[in-house]
């Protein structure tokens, strides 16, 4: 971050603009929205500035800038467009200790005016630090589309009820949950449509009813395969609201960054073959945190119900009488397929796909595969096989499938799918083990077995990283 963002109070405080043309008027409009007391210094001023002066909204000194104009001001703008004068403003301001902005001259400026999304009192400022103003404008436009035009009215409405809510909902965490539920709920929607009277009546009964509610809840949320923009919108919203996040090792840092900054984080991550926090202990943590009345997000890589032990956690929470909900995530198989261009089913090649664990194959050794996976039946099925946790047992899986006729079937191994360090290797089932070992695969990896694995030239894949422009 090259510049430090702050919001400065300029209400009824003196601000100086040197310059009387369109560039000066643009700054003036913004400053007046924040109720600054603006003095324009310029020998000539355009009609807009003259009108404001005549209406008594600003002061205008019809003369050239002089360093004394800076006395007592909190901000100064050089907007004359005349290089020598703007430099003089910048130099004098620095000397006087007044932060200065020279229009379109970051080299002469102490601060910049960001692109502003104005839903006062909600204000969003966007800056590219002077590197790419057009990109910043694109970001601003994207945020403008996201934010309801009446968002400011909603903030003012909530402010009216702050005292009442404080009186009946004790404890800051409980209040946080109250407001989360309010902003997501029907009363807020009513305010946004303009019916503030009806919304106020609803709010009064809501405040009284919710004052008694203290229950915690656990959301078991799928984080997707790692990339931060592959979590669902619902998952993201719950992360933003959570008091505590209990997360796995495979959850990407970018996803965790979506969480509230003051949320507690509990890492119960498992490395392969290592179980720092046993499953029953994880269940206990979830139950204990929810019993404290907290909003808990149990964040799991991929989808919670695909080799994620989410089912066990849900059962434990149900048995303990804790409210729990599951939010799906993009599982590794579909994520890796998309990120490599390898379809899991394909007309004429595969009409079924099986998600299977290769985990137990490693423990069984080279003598016939995992006891609870019927590789012979899978080999006969003709389905694409998406093998999770199969790296350690790759040799066993390859032998088993080869014995049942799949020796020459194409395979693709996708390591760290959708992440910046994604790698893809292709071959055939009989050399799967060599493929894994020769390439030193250590990250989470998915093995795709079937004709579909040879349909795409994986050397052309981009790693499935969505360009920013597509997100806007």
Ligand X SMILES: C[S@@+](CC[C@H](N)C(=O)[O-])C[C@H]1O[C@@H](n2cnc3c(N)ncnc32)[C@H](O)[C@@H]1O
Residues at the interface with ligand X (CB under 6 A):
225-226, 250, 300-303, 306-308, 331-332, 336, 388-389, 414, 416-419, 444-446
Which of the 8 DSSP states describes residue 360? H
Which of the 8 DSSP states describes residue 430? G
248 included as an active-site residue: yes
The answer to whether the CB of 165 falls within 8 A of the CB of 175 is: yes
Burial of 84 (0-12, 13-18, 19+ CB in 10 A): exposed
What is the closest distance, in whole angstroms, from the C-beta atom of residue 467 to ligand X in the complex? 20
Angle at Cα 334 formed by Cα 271 and Cα 470, nearest 5°?
105
Q: What SS3 class is residue 205? A: helix
What is the closest distance, in whole angstroms, from the C-beta atom of residue 256 to ligand X in the complex? 15
Tell me how far the alpha carbon of residue 442 is from its chain's centroid.
27
Nearer to ligand X, 89 or 386 (CB): 386
Nearer to ligand X, 302 or 410 (CB): 302
Please tell me the distance from the alpha carbon of residue 162 to that of residue 183, in angstroms, as a whole number.
Answer: 13
What is the closest distance, in whole angstroms, from the C-beta atom of residue 299 to ligand X in the complex? 11
What is the closest distance, in whole angstroms, from the C-beta atom of residue 259 to ligand X in the complex? 19
What is the closest distance, in whole angstroms, from the C-beta atom of residue 294 to ligand X in the complex? 24
Residue number, nearest CB to ligand X: 302
451 included as an active-site residue: no
What is the closest distance, in whole angstroms, from the C-beta atom of residue 1 to ligand X in the complex? 29
Please tell me the distance from the alpha carbon of residue 129 to that of residue 125, in angstroms, as a whole number.
Answer: 12
Nearer to ligand X, 69 or 400 (CB): 400
Nearer to ligand X, 216 or 417 (CB): 417
Q: Write down the catalytic residue from 59, 264, 270, 284.
A: 270
Both tokens assigned to 408: 């020459």
Sign of CA dihedral 399, 402, 407, 409: negative
What is the closest distance, in whole angstroms, from the C-beta atom of residue 260 to ligand X in the complex? 24
Tell me how far the alpha carbon of residue 160 is from its chain's centroid.
30
The beta strand positions in 139-216, using DSSP E, are: none
Nearer to ligand X, 60 or 307 (CB): 307
Nearer to ligand X, 60 or 388 (CB): 388
Nearer to ligand X, 344 or 414 (CB): 414
Phi, psi of 5 (to 5 degrees): -80, 130
Long-range CB pairs of 389-392, under 8 A, 24+ apart, other chains included: 389/272, 389/307, 389/357, 389/358, 389/359, 390/357, 390/358, 390/359, 390/361, 390/445, 390/446, 390/447, 391/358, 391/436, 391/441, 391/445, 391/447, 392/272, 392/273, 392/358, 392/359, 392/361, 392/362
Q: Write down the catalytic residue from 180, 243, 248, 400.
A: 248
Nearer to ligand X, 149 or 440 (CB): 440
Cis previous bond, 329, omega within 30: no
What is the closest distance, in whole angstroms, from the C-beta atom of residue 413 to ligand X in the complex? 9
Which of the 8 DSSP states describes residue 125? E
Please tell me the distance from the alpha carbon of residue 174 to that of residue 159, in angstroms, as a whole number.
Answer: 17
What residues are labeled active site? 248, 270
């Amino acid at each position: 971050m090259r510049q430090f963002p702050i919001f400065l109070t300029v209400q009824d405080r003196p601000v100086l603009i040197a310059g009387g043309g369109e560039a000066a008027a643009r700054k003036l409009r913004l400053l007046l929205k924040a109720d600054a007391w603006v003095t324009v210094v310029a020998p000539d001023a355009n009609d807009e500035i003259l009108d404001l002066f005549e209406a008594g909204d600003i002061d205008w000194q019809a003369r050239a800038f002089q360093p004394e104009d800076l006395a007592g001001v909190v901000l100064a703008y050089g907007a004359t467009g005349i290089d020598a004068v703007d430099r003089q403003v910048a130099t004098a301001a620095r000397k006087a200790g007044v932060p200065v902005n020279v229009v379109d001259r970051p080299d002469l400026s102490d601060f910049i005016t960001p692109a502003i999304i104005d839903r006062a009192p909600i204000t969003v400022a966007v800056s590219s630090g002077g590197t790419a103003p057009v990109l910043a404008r694109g970001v601003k436009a994207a945020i403008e589309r996201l934010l309801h035009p009446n968002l400011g009215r909603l903030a003012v409405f909530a402010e009216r009820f702050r005292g009442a809510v404080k009186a009946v909902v004790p404890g800051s965490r409980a209040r946080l949950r109250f407001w989360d539920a309010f902003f997501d709920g029907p009363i807020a929607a009513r305010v946004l449509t303009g019916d503030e009277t009806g919304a106020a009546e609803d709010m009064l009964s809501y405040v009284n009813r919710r004052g008694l509610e203290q229950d915690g809840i656990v959301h078991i949320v799928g984080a997707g395969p790692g990339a931060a923009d592959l979590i669902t919108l619902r998952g993201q919203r719950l992360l933003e609201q959570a008091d505590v996040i209990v997360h796995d090792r495979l959850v990407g840092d970018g996803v965790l960054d979506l969480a509230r900054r003051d949320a507690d984080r509990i890492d119960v991550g498992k490395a392969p073959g290592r179980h720092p926090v046993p499953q029953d202990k994880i269940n206990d943590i979830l139950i204990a945190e929810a019993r404290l009345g907290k909003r808990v997000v149990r964040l799991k890589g991929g989808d919670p119900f695909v080799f994620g032990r989410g089912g066990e956690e849900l059962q434990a929470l149900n048995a303990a009488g804790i409210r729990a909900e599951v939010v799906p995530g993009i599982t590794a198989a579909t994520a890796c397929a998309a990120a490599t261009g390898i379809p899991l089913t394909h007309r004429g090649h595969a009409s079924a796909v099986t998600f299977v664990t290769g985990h137990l194959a490693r423990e069984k050794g080279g003598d016939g595969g995992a006891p609870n996976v019927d590789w012979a039946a899978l080999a006969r099925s003709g389905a694409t096989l998406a093998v999770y946790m199969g790296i350690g047992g790759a040799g066993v899986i390859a032998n088993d499938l080869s014995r049942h006729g799949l020796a020459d079937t194409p395979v693709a191994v996708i390591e760290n799918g959708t992440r910046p360090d994604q790698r893809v290797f292709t071959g055939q089932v009989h050399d799967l083990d060599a493929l894994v070992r020769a390439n030193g695969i250590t990250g989470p990896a998915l093995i795709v077995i079937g004709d579909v694995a040879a349909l795409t030239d994986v050397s052309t894949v981009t790693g499935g990283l969505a360009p920013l422009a597509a997100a806007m």
